[in-house]
Every structure is written in C-alpha cells, then in structure tokens.
Structure 1
Amino acid sequence: MDVVPDGDRMTVTLWGELDLGSRRLLPELYDMLTLSGTGLDLRLDAIGFCDCSGLNALLDLHSRAAGEGKTVTVRSCGVAVERLLDMTDTRELFADSGRPESAPAPAACAANPREEGGRPTADPPEEDDRPTAHPPEEDSQDLRAEVTQLRRAMQTRPTIDLARGILMASFGLSPEAAWSVLVRTSQNTNTKLHNLAQDLVGTVRGRTLPERVQQQLAAAVAGENRSRPTGD
C-alpha cells in the first residue's frame, strides 16, 4: 500500500490480492481516512485478485467513511475489482466524485474556482463564480440511494460466503478456487452473483439448480481441478 496526500484527500494505491488477508490493511486505512479532510481515493489497477473478503473490507471502509461524513472512491481499478463491483451492484458506492483526472483538486476546492492547489487566493470569489448548490431534495435522494445500495451489498455478503463454503465442502475446493467457480458460473450463465449464491444455498434445502447452471458449475469445478497443482 502506498499513500500520497492530495489536498483534502488521500490517494491510496494498493497492489497484490484483496482476499481474507486484506482485513489487516483496515486499521491503517482507517487511520488514513481519519487524517484526510474529505476521504480516500483508491487506485486498484494492480490488484490481480479480489474476492468477497476483499469486497467486505472495501465495504467496511466505505461504512467507516460515511460515519465520518467522508467518502471513499475507486479512482481506477483492474479487471478483477471491476468485475466484482459489477456483479455485486456496488460500483456506484465507490463512484468517482467526477473530478477530472488532470485536475485532482479536493471536493472542498471545487466550489471555489480561484483556489490554487487547495489553498484560497487573496481574492474571494465573486458571487456569480459560485456553482449553484444541489437542492436539499436531490441530496437526500442521492443519500437514500447510496444507503439502499450499501444495505443490499451488506445483505448479500453472508449468502455469497455461505455459497462459497458449500462449494468448498462439496468439491474439496480452496477458498480461492470456490470463489473462481462462483464467478465463472455467474459469467457463463449471465446470472448475478448474489442470485447464483442464493440458488446454491437453496440446494441445501432440497432445491434443484437449473440444468444450464448445473452444467456450467460442473465445468467450472472441472476446470479448477485440472488447474490444481499435482500433489494437492
């Protein structure tokens, strides 16, 4: 992890894998969040693997930021993170504030076009230079939408983790392999990850998966077994 102050925000670059071990980063990320004025901007381009545990850590960080009146945005990410955010409908929770890449001024500076490098100049802005504030009703709607998305994401976490546990127990898969099977089956059947997880959990109660899902699931498991190193 690399942290660079950026005006009222902190730019955090992560690399490696976001899995169960990523929770060890949370205390330091919380500290960076507290030290920042308005929140954190994450750069996750170098993350090669991200599973539910990694997403859980990001959601916990988002929740902590919301409690402090700050934001956490994903400024850039690779395929692994992008795919997970899409499948779990959590992309908008970490949506960029809309600041241009070439002008990463903190959000607090955006309201004052005469500020330079996050510091106000001697001349206060003219009244006409100030952008029109969003109506309270619009801000309230945005907040309600974000809370709804966060609640949905938090509700699906246990189901996805349980589905992964079922695959691990049923096919002798590692946590990483079980996650890969879930993702691949979700993609090949065009099924939302949390919906697939619910269907898998339902099999414990005697429900049957659709035939197409069974076929893709079996193919994904077989693929993981073929890629398993000899001797495992």
Structure 2
Amino acid sequence: MPEPAYAARSRTGEGAAAAATDNAPTAVPPCMATMDVTPDDDRMTVTLWGELDLGSRRLLPDLHDILALSGSGIDLRLDTVGFCDCAGINVLLDLRTHALDQGKTVTVRSCGRAVDRLFDLTGTRELFTDVAGTAAHVADARTDGDADRDLRAEVTQLRRAMQTRPTIDLARGILMASFGLSAEAAWSVLVRTSQNTNTKLHHLARDLVGSVHGSTLPE
C-alpha cells in the first residue's frame, strides 16, 4: 500500500488544543482511515481507504486544507473503504457544505459496497454526483440509446431526491422537537434506524411524519 500523502492529524497530548480549535468532539475515537491525494488540473483527487466512522472526523481539517488548495473542488475515490456508517456519511456532507461555501464541489467518482449501501439508504448519492461530468462520460463510453436511458434514470433519481428531502427534513425536525436532539443527532437516529430495519430513509421519514397525524409508527 502506498504511503498516504495525508493522514489524520494527531489529537493527543499537545494536539488537544488543535482539536478544540477544529470544534471536534472531545471524545472522538481514533481514526481508522487514511488517504492519498493527487492533483488533477484544478481539482484534487482524494483516495480513502479503511473505515469511515465517527473517528474519521479527524480527517476533516486535512480535507479542508486540501479543498482550499484546489481550484474547483475534490473528487473522492472510496473503492477501498471497507466500512462506513452514518457518522462517515456526515463527514462527507460536512466536506460538501464546506466546499459549497467556497463555490466548489465534492464528487464521488467511485465507491465500494459499504459506501454504496449508505448512499442508497440515505438518498444522498445525488449530492455527490457531477451530473455534467457523468453525462459526458456516459455519452463517450456507451451507445446513444444506453446514454439516453442512463440520463433518464439519473434525472428520475434527482427528482425523487428533491421530492423526498422535505419529508426527511420534517421527520428530523419532529425528532429534534420531541427528544431535544441536535440536527446531527436526529439525522443519525434516522440513518441508524434505516440501516437496522433495512428501510429506505424516505419511507421511514414518511411513516414518522404520518404518526403525528394519528397513524401507527411501525415497530
């Protein structure tokens, strides 16, 4: 395995002050992921391997630095990520939000089964898709008929994400108001329940919102 160009910064001993500066939780576990960075024109390609969990928040300061060095953003390759949970997805969402604040983008160019499953459950895949770039790649690699079908499917996925997002946000608000949770904690509850019950996130959110109007929430 090649030596990573970047690794998680130390958060022990003298690094405690730096952790506080980064607004990281004081009890963040060790990071089980490493990364390699390759410049690609005005973007940075970041390859991650290992595990994306709560400890992977320790990667954020370095990822923010890499983002700042890029011209238009970061392309992620996650093929060798063997484990990913809702905390890992939150790290990617944090990076995406940071990029949007700078007028940049974060895209996922490839991912393994662990990340792919979380994207499906949470409906967040489209947030990391470069539609224009994907369309160009598909058009070059496939016949016109195949490209047309792929693009139609992609548009359908984007429309579905736009339609289900308000319900998911409302369900998260219900959890926050009912149990005094933060926005991130409410999101984690939804994602973890979705994983444990093998239920699509937007279906779970719909049932939760329906329970406010008297329907029974499935056990």
Q: TM-score, normalised by structure 2?
A: 0.56
Aligned counterpart, 1:183: 195
CA contact (8 A) 2:54 2:87 kept: yes
Residues of 1 paired with 2:196 and 2:210: CA distance?
19
Q: How does 1:137-148 map to 2 (within 5 A)?
A: none
**CA-atom RMSD, angstroms?**
3.7
Is 1:21 aligned to 2:21, yes or no?
no
Residues of 2 paired with 1:49 and 1:153: CA distance?
28
Aligned counterpart, 2:189: 162
Q: How does 1:38-117 map to 2 (within 5 A)?
A: 38-96=72-130, 97-98=133-134, 100=137
Deviations, residues 109-134 of structure 1 (Å, cap 9, x unaligned)? xxxxxxxxxxxxxxxxxxxxxxxxxx
Letter in 1 for 2:105: T
CA contact (8 A) 2:168 2:201 kept: no
| Count of residues paired in the alignment | 148
Residues of 1 paired with 2:98 and 2:197: CA distance?
32
Structure 1 residues 49 and 81: alpha-carbon distance in aligned structure 2, compared to 1, 3 A threshold: same
Q: CA deviation at 1:100?
A: 3.5
Aligned-pair identity (%): 60
Aligned counterpart, 1:37: 71
Q: TM-score, normalised by structure 1?
A: 0.53
Rg comparison, structure with higher value: 1
Structure 1 residues 38 and 10: alpha-carbon distance in aligned structure 2, compared to 1, 3 A threshold: same
CA contact (8 A) 1:159 1:194 kept: no
Letter in 2 for 1:4: T
CA contact (8 A) 2:108 2:128 kept: yes
CA contact (8 A) 1:160 1:198 kept: no
Residues of 2 paired with 1:30 and 1:72: CA distance?
11
